[in-house]
Structure formats: C-alpha cells, structure tokens
C-alpha cells in the first residue's frame, strides 16, 4: 500500500456505551471528540454535520480541530414508501453539504431494523424479494438526487438492515445504475454475514467508491450465532475491535485494494480499548504501519 491512502476515523466509538447501546446523549461535545481523534494521530474524520450547524461553522470546527472532512453516511428506512419523499430532500441537503466540503462520495445504507434482523443478526432473517425490490427502487431515487448535487453514494451493506447478506447487496447493485450508485463495502459487516471481504471486494473492485475498514473477533461472531445474541448484545461482547487486532485477513483485503485510491474510513463501534481515544490511537498506529507507509496525513483536497 502506498503512502497516498486517504484515511479517516469515524467518531461512532464515542457514541456507544460499554453495554453496546447507541447513546449519543452521553457523548462529549463534538469539538472534544474531534480533538481526541486528531491527538490520536488521524488527520481526517467521517463527516456528520449537526442539524443546527451551518457548513461554514462545521468547516471552522474541522479547521480548529486540525481535521479534514471524509465521506459521511446517509441512511433511512428505504422499505417504507412514506419515508422516501422526505429522504430525497434530506439526501439533497446532505449531499450538498458534502459537495461544499469538497467531497464527492458518501456512504448510503438502509436504516437499522428493530425487528428480526436486530434480534437474529447476520442471518438474512425474514428475507423478502418484493421488499428488496422496493428498497432498491427507493435507493435509486435518492441516489439520483445526490448525484445531481455532485456526490455519488456508495452502497454500504450493514448487518441489522434489509441489505445484510451478499445476495441482497448484489441485488441492489444490479438494480441501480452504476452511474448513480457505487459500492462502499464494510469489511466487518461482510465478515459477520459470512462473506469473505477480500473476495467480495475483488469481485466489485471497479465499482468501489469508498471503504469502511472494520475488524471483528471471530470467537465472538461464533458466540453471537450459538447463543442467539441480538445485534447490540454481540457488540457488548466486543465483537468489534481495532483493525489488525481481530480475525479479518487484512493482508488479503489490502492486497486487493492496492489499486484503490479513494477514501478509507476506520470504524470501531464499542471501543475494544479502555477509552475511545485509546481505540483511535491503536487504529491510527495500524493505519501508519499498514496503509500510509509510516505517515497518515494524506487527505483529500
């Protein structure tokens, strides 16, 4: 891997409690989180503007933190037709903000499910072809609105959503024009769903627009299946870990991605170190060793 990789960290770690629950109200202020990410060794951060913040104010926050913006994340319940008109407007706004920040890519995902996919994660529970067709059509509509703003969405398969399995991901990619939708694979969610990340990425390499690098402990993945753990219980067992500390073969993944020159976003949900800052520090060290040839200060202009 060359020293030109564009790498960012996702602040998500600060928003998960030690019990594996998403608890944003308990997180420190964004300026504090960004400062810790920069002090850990990262120079870019997953973009997520607070609803009440202007682009100029957000850019000022980034500048004050010493961070550059990296592709963020858009999600909604694409299976619900009533949500789509509002999702289109929100997608336009989010993509417009990304474009103003100089970004041309964003991850897009189905919204997290509170039903069988949360209770029985990574098993393709309650699969439904008609629902998936409806989701693909809605994603195409939203993607078209984003591309019109100058930002191309990258499909992000995610355990716990209706786009969880390899076949579901393939179906959406096949249904939406590649000019409107790229692929934003997540190594950890692929592995949890039983997919070989390197093989899957290699198959779609010419459609990759951005990548989430996420590692997991294989033993916890096995426990999640054998003990029928729900999504958040698996996270609380420390399913996720910092890249290089788990069981994903990143040698193979990075070898396949050797010709990819877009954004990588490092992501760990529940910190597998004593604090989120420690998780970011361990992750930055891995990035320096494996992705950027001893330095990780390359960011997009």
> For the domain with range 6-290, which CATH number is right: 2.160.10.10, 1.10.8.80, 3.20.20.150, 3.40.1410.10?
3.20.20.150
Predicted pLDDT at 299: 32
Q: Which residues of the chain have pLDDT under 70?
A: 1-4, 293-301
Q: How far apart are CA 228 and CA 233, in angstroms?
A: 9
Predicted pLDDT at 301: 25
Predicted pLDDT at 293: 67
Predicted pLDDT at 278: 98
Instruction: Judge residue 22's burial from the number of C-beta atoms within 10 Å of its C-beta, 0-12 exposed, 13-18 middle, 19 or more buried.
Output: middle
Predicted pLDDT at 295: 45
Write out the two tokens for 60: 């000022």
Q: How far apart are CA 101 and CA 26, in angstroms?
A: 28
Predicted pLDDT at 294: 55
pLDDT tens digits, one per residue of 120-162: 999 999 999 999 999 999 999 999 999 999 999 999 999 999 9
Domain ranges within the chain, ordered by starting residue: 6-290
Predicted pLDDT at 21: 85
């Amino acid at each position: 891997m060359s020293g030109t990789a564009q790498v960012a960290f996702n602040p998500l770690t600060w928003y998960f409690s030690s019990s594996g629950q998403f608890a944003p109200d308990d997180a420190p202020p964004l300026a504090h989180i960004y400062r810790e990410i920069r002090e850990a060794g990262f120079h870019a951060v997953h973009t997520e503007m607070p609803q009440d913040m202007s682009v100029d104010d957000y850019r000022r926050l980034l500048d004050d933190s010493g961070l550059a913006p990296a592709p963020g994340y858009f999600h909604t319940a694409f299976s619900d037709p009533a949500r789509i008109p509002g999702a289109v407007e929100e997608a336009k706004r989010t993509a417009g903000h990304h474009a103003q920040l100089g970004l041309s890519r964003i991850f897009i995902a189905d919204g997290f499910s509170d039903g069988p996919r949360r209770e029985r994660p990574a098993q393709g529970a309650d699969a439904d072809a008609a629902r998936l067709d409806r989701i693909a059509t809605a994603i195409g509509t939203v993607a078209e609105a984003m591309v019109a703003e100058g930002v191309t969405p990258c499909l992000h398969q995610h355990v716990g959503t209706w786009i969880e399995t390899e076949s579901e991901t393939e179906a959406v990619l096949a249904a939406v024009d590649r000019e409107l939708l790229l692929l934003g694979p997540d190594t950890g969610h692929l592995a949890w769903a039983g997919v070989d990340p390197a093989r899957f990425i290699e198959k779609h390499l010419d459609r990759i627009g951005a990548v989430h690098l996420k590692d997991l402990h294989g033993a916890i993945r096995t426990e999640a299946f054998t003990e029928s753990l729900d999504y958040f219980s698996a996270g609380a067992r420390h399913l996720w870990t910092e890249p290089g500390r788990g069981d994903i073969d990143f040698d193979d993944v990075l070898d396949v991605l050797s010709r990819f020159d877009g954004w990588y976003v490092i992501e760990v949900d529940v910190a597998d170190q004593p604090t989120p800052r420690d998780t970011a520090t361990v992750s930055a060290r891995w990035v320096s060793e494996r992705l950027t040839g001893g330095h990780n200060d390359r960011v997009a202009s």
